[in-house]
Amino acid sequence: MYHIIYNPVAGKKKSRKNLRIVENILQQRGIAYELHQSCAVHDAEAIARRLTEAGETELIVLGGDGTLHEVLNGIVDPTICKLGLIPSGTGNDFAERRGISLDPAKALERILNGEATPVDYIDVSGTRCMNIAGLGIDVDVLERCQRGKLKGKLKYLISLIKSLFAFKGYRVKVVSEGREETHEVLICAACNGSQFGGGIKICPPAREDDGKLDVIVVGFIKGKWKIVKAFIQLMKGRVIEYVLTTYFRCDSVTFLPEKACPIQLDGEVYHNHAFEAKLCTGLKFY
């Protein structure tokens, strides 16, 4: 029995269209499924918890990165679950990194005919994160997106450009497995996936199944020309090569900002949340 956790507002009309296609295929083939609609924030998390507490193990997320984030956090024991994804959000960053088609029929075929294989995820002080966890300009971008009126991927790009010129940076101590450094940062990110913000490749080498966290620390940039240069490097997926970037791989990392600041996990903003990140394994993903 497949349990589809569905976010009707993800990607606006995209999710409803994708659901119709998915249901038609399942009904035509006589494949058993149940639909569970998320109606408010944290609904998908509660649904996933209820289902997995009852022993269900086959979950399909029909939504975006935010819905996937909630479902991951609701699963009682990730080591006994198989998770599928029908990408239906705005950014779909984890889906793209995973190679999941945006065509709902093809994404469903991957689940029905494919094999669920182990993937990693991040635990950040008790909250799970599938893709990228960070603090700094990425959170500033997200908060601008939430305040703005633009829709789609364009809102990420416009918000990023504005943040590059307005963000003031943080002083952060980075602690990892005997390594301790303090930086004036533009961004600190612990990466399981390679991209965020609808395709911005913050860490191209990161893989969701390699058993390691990829950590990116980009130093604060002063001067408009340097900001533009860094932005070009970022959009080319070459931020690791930038002179102010520190990059390393590890099992765990802690970010300790000098002043309290919000963080983001899979694009969801958290306030007053510690940032002790460790890699976890055992979840199976189609």
Ramachandran sector of residue 163 (left: φ over 0; alpha: ψ -120 to 50; beta: rest): alpha
Q: What does the pLDDT look like over 133-190, one tens digit per residue?
A: 999 998 998 888 878 766 666 777 788 888 888 888 999 999 999 999 999 999 999 9
pLDDT at 164: 82
What tokens does 136 get?
Answer: 């700094």
| pTM score over 0.75 | yes
Q: Give me the residues of the chain with pLDDT under 50, please.
A: none
Query: What distance in Å separates the CA atoms of residue 27 and residue 38, rounded to the nearest whole number?
Result: 21
Please answer whether residues 205 and 240 qualify as being in contact, where contact means their C-beta atoms are separated by less than 8 angstroms: yes
